[in-house]
Each structure stands twice: as C-alpha cells, then as structure tokens.
Amino acid sequence: MSNMNKAVVIGAGIAGLITARMLSEYYQEVYIVERDELPTAPANRQGTPQSFHPHRVLPRGHMILERYFPGYTNDLLDHGAQASYAEETKLVNRFGTFVSRPPFLSASSSRALLEWVLRRRVQNIQHVHFLTNTEVTGLISSEDRQTITGIYTKKRNEKKQEGMLTADMVIDTAGRSSKVIKWLTSLGHTVPDPEVLKVSLGYSTQYYKIPPQAREQWRSVISEAQPAKGISTGMLLRIENNIALTLLFSAGGEHYPPTKPDEFQAELKYLNASEIAKTVSHLEPLQGPRGYRTPESVRQHFEKMETWPSGLLVLGDAFCNFDPIYGQGMTVAAIEAETVGNCLEEQKRNPQPYFERHVLHQMQEAIDPAWWLSSIADLRWKGVEHVGPPLKGITFVQKYIDLFTKKAMELAANGNSRFYLTQTLMTSLVLPPSKFFNAEILTMILDDNGSPEEKKLRAELGVQDPKLFQQRIDELIPSFDAAFDERLKDFLMSLKQQ
Ligand SMILES: Cc1cc2nc3c(=O)[nH]c(=O)nc-3n(C[C@H](O)[C@H](O)[C@H](O)COP(=O)(O)OP(=O)(O)OC[C@H]3O[C@@H](n4cnc5c(N)ncnc54)[C@H](O)[C@@H]3O)c2cc1C
C-alpha cells in the first residue's frame, strides 16, 4: 500500500464502474479495461448478455449508488426512466394481494440505460481511463508469484496486438465469465471449490410498447412463485420510454419458461396474478420472448486459500453470483465495492499487512445475508441443491416467512403495510435478518389460531415458552449483524419521517 499510483479494473460492467469510481478516490490513475467496444448511447452489448432482462436496483444498492454517483436517479429520470415511486406496484402471492408505492425516490430503467448513466459519470473523472475493445488475457506477477503487478492484454481487432499494463492493484470484475481461477491456478495457487447453489434457473423476457391510453393508469405487477405447485414468478414492469417488460422465472430444472410467443402468453395465464396476461394482451409486442438459463449460482471462497497474492482482488459476479430473480447482483457488487473502499480508508489511517486477505474476509461477511436469503428462497424449488458448508435454519426460516407473509398480507390489505415493509427492507439488504427473525415478531405471528402454517412453525421451533423464543432463534439463525453499518440507520430514519 505504500504506492497508490495505479489501479486496473477488469471489465466495465456495473461492478467495474462502481469499483473504478470508488478507486478514483485512492489511486492517482485508474484504468478500466473492457473487451467490448462501449456504446455511446444506452444499448445492450455482447459482453453482458443479461442486459436484455429486467434489472432492478434494491434500496441498499440505490443508497450506495447515490453515495458514489450523487443524483444518478435524477439522471435516469432525465433520460426517460420511469419514476417508479410515483406509480403503484401490485403484489400478488398465494396469501393475497396488496398495492403499494416505493417509500423513496427511485427510477426504473433498462440495464443499458443504468450502465450508460454510470459510465458517463466515470468517463468524466479525469484520472480514470477506459481501454475498450481490449481483452485481459492474464495476470503479471512477481517472480515469487506472491504479488500481482499488472495484466496482459490483447486487442480485439484484426491485428490482435498484445500488450501489458502494470498496476499496484488489479481488481477483477469480469463477471460470470471471469478467468481469474484459471490465472491463479496457472500461477501455482490452489483455489478451493466454491460454494454452489445448483439452481437450474430459467428466465424469459418479452418487451412491449405501452400505448398512450394505457400509460396513465399503469401499474407494475409482481406475481410471486409457488414452487410447490410449479407456478412461476411473473413480473410486469415499466422502464424508460413507455416500454413494458414481462418476465417469467422458475428454478429447479423441471420446467423452463417458454421462449415461443404463444407458449409464453399461455404461461402468463397460470401466474398467481392473472392481471399480467390481461394487461399485456392490450400492449404492442416488441422484442422477445428471449430466454436466459444458468445451472448454478457460485460463491468463491478465496479467503480460505493458503496463499493469496497481494495486489489482486475480485468482486461482482466473478466473486459471487446470485439467482437474479431477487435483484441482488448489482446491489451486492455495490456493497463489495464499498467494502473495499472502507478497507482502503482504514488502510490509509492504519496500514496493516495482508490487506487483500482482510478485504476478502470483509467482503464475505458483507455478502453473507444476501447469499443466505436467496439460497433459502431457491431451496423451495424441487431439484435445487446447495453444495458447501450447510446453510443454517432453512426449514425454520421458510416456515417463518410463510406465516409472516400470510399475516403481513392480511394487515397490508387492511391498510397497514408497515409490517410488510420490514420484510421488504430485509430482502433489500437494508435491515439485518435479526430485525425480522426475532422473538417479538415471532410472538406476533404465533397467535394460537392453529392454522397449518402455525403448527408447522411451532414444530420447527420446538419450544412453547415465549421467554425461550429468542434463545431458540439465535440457535437456529446465524447473526449477520456485522454486515450492516450505522449509515443504514439514517436511511431507515428517512423512511420513518415520510
Ligand atoms: C437474467 C439476469 C437478470 C438480472 N437481473 C438483475 C436485477 O434485477 N438486479 C440486479 O441487481 N442484478 C441483476 N442481475 C445480476 C447483474 O447482471 C450482475 O450481478 C451485475 O451486473 C454485476 O455484474 P459484474 O459487473 O460483476 O459483471 P457483468 O455485468 O457481467 O460485467 C462484466 C464485464 O466484464 C467484461 N469482461 C469479461 N471478461 C473480460 C476480459 N477478459 N477482459 C476485459 N473485459 C472482460 C464483460 O464484457 C463485461 O462488460 C441479473 C443477472 C441476470 C443473468
């Protein structure tokens, strides 16, 4: 850390852009090396095939993006993004229906517009340089292979010129197609098996134009899945320029959402929310349906390696990728970049050896709740399997959420959505799970009405005396409190004041 001259970021996806912006506060020069030619206007590109599909920013990600890119939400709105806080969202699940509005300023856009808005901000930082059309092909290391000192590159043109770029820090944000494991292995490091969620998930997305007469009364719809019955998740969202996106999702590999228009339309009718099929029948179909499938979500555990070279970090999808249906990927990338920033700040004040290993540990702690929550949700689908250190509390948590959701939906339908908001803030990674799974809430949801959901939860709990509830919850569920910091309290206060 003595020399903070030059940092290199591999990949100009969402993780790469946030990382480059964060690094610009600490390094004299930051290079962001991207294999694609980057479009000058919002457009999908080859290197990020997921961009076709809806990309939502969770409230925690929104907070971090506003920290590094103040006013980015207004930039999005200025470029036609939908002011989603100004429109209703209807949530439908097996317990009922309720309609709400996001309690803070937010904008719904395509991934291409979000990336373009953030990229323009980074391109305007004088000491951040973009090398596009340039593929990173390897890591340069010191002779003892314990320090990464740069990258090898190859131009993606006919001449395919090869090059080198030295750096004091290289951060790989190359996404799911990252080659970092291969590069580390070729340098003689032994990389442990990652934690894997064998999820076999499928997406299918269709675009529509919303005609003028449908724009005023428009509302988004989220139709939650019912994995036990094989019912898919469905979403109907509006993005910039009055484009609507419909998404179908399922996991487990038994069924993948169709990509033929008539089959896609037919499956919409089986969702918990029949409104989606009805609404889209009045819209003008544009592109799609287009599918996306992936067999697994992968969480690397580099912190467990015996040797980790200094001068190298990995974050974003290359470090840990998620089932996208919970909208966590970009938010987790933001959390990781912020974690690196906090560690650089600490390091500046109080330099310590093994900086990179410390960062890897901190990032693991920071992403733990996201991995746990989405894995537990996916394990409801038949055929999904978790490979790695056992996840704690799976069946208790699934039953707790069922009972909670039932109660929260009843209350929300009667005008009290505060209870439901607690759950939303947890799944948005703003509230730690301990604010949701605790004796106080458990006592509220176990009200002796003898429903099947209540009996199942009591059986999992195994204690009757409410005085023992907290102790039992602490045994069943890990504490994730270290993943949340004080700044989140300010965000919560701002919600309470609204
Ligand atoms: C279908 C789908 C829907 C999703 N929906 C959401 C959502 O709603 N909300 C959400 O938060 N997240 C969502 N995600 C996840 C989200 O796309 C990622 O988590 C997020 O973009 C962070 O990714 P990244 O920057 O690490 O990788 P990417 O965005 O994939 O970017 C990687 C970049 O690295 C470049 N690259 C790769 N290899 C090299 C190389 N060797 N040299 C140079 N450049 C290289 C690529 O061209 C690319 O630009 C979704 C994902 C999928 C698959």
- Give the model confidence (pLDDT) of 64-104 as tens digits: 999 999 999 999 999 999 998 778 999 999 999 999 888 77
Q: What pLDDT, on a 0 to 100 scale, did the predictor assign at position 156?
A: 94
Nearest of 68, 56, 85, 64 to residue 487 by alpha carbon? 64
Cβ of residue 225 lying under 6 Å from some atom of ligand 1? no
Strand ranges, E, within 132-228 = 134-141, 148-155, 162-166, 169-172, 195-209, 220-223
- pLDDT tens column, 265-275: 999 999 999 99
Q: Tell me, what's the pLDDT at 216?
A: 87
- Measured from the CA of 321, which atom of ligand 1 is nearest? 19
Nearest CA, atom 47, ligand 1: 47
Give residue 411 CA to ligand 1 midpoint distance, Å.
38
Residue by residue, DSSP assigns 257-298 as ---SHHHHHHHHTTSS-THHHHHHTTSEE-S--EEEEEEEEE
**Which atom of ligand 1 is the closest one to the Cα of 14?**
25
The answer to whether the CB of 14 is under 6 A from ligand 1 is yes
What is the CA(333)–ligand 1 centre distance, in A?
10
How far does the centroid of ligand 1 lie from the alpha carbon of residue 446, in Å? 41
Give the residue, out of 151, 177, 233, 367, with the most ligand 1 atoms within 8 A of its beta carbon, to mutate for a pocket test: 177
**CB of 16 closer than 6 A to ligand 1?**
yes
Domain layout of the chain by residue ranges: 6-49+57-82+106-194+299-375, 195-295, 394-496
Q: Which H or E element spans position 482?
A: none
Q: Do domains 6-49+57-82+106-194+299-375 and 195-295 have the same CATH topology?
A: no
Percent of the chain with pLDDT over 90: 83
State the average pLDDT for the chain. Answer: 93
Residue 294's beta-bridge partner residues? 201
Strands 195-209, 243-250: pairing kind = antiparallel
Average pLDDT over residues 355-366: 97
Q: Is the CB of 442 under 6 A from ligand 1?
A: no
Beta strand pairing call for 220-223 and 89-93: parallel
From the alpha carbon of 327, which atom of ligand 1 is closest? 9
Region 309-314 average pLDDT = 97
Query: Does domain 195-295 fall into CATH 3.30.70?
Result: yes
Q: Is 119 in the pocket of ligand 1 (CB under 6 A)?
A: no
Res 452: pLDDT: 85
pTM of the model: 0.96
Separation of 130 CA from ligand 1 center, angstroms? 17
Tell me: the pLDDT tens digits for 145-204?
A: 999 999 999 999 888 999 999 999 999 999 999 999 999 999 999 999 999 999 999 999
Question: Is 299 in contact with 320 (CB distance < 8 Å)?
Answer: yes
The CA-CA-CA angle for residues 257, 263, 265, to 5°, reads 95
What pLDDT is attached to residue 4? 72
Instruction: Establish whether residue 316 lines the binding site of ligand 1, counting it when its CB lies within 6 angstroms of any ligand atom.
Output: yes
6-49+57-82+106-194+299-375 topology per CATH: FAD/NAD(P)-binding domain (3.50.50)
pLDDT tier at 2, thresholds 50, 70, 90: very low
CA distance 484 to 195: 23
What is the four-CA torsion angle of 156, 158, 162, 165, rounded to 10 degrees?
Answer: -40
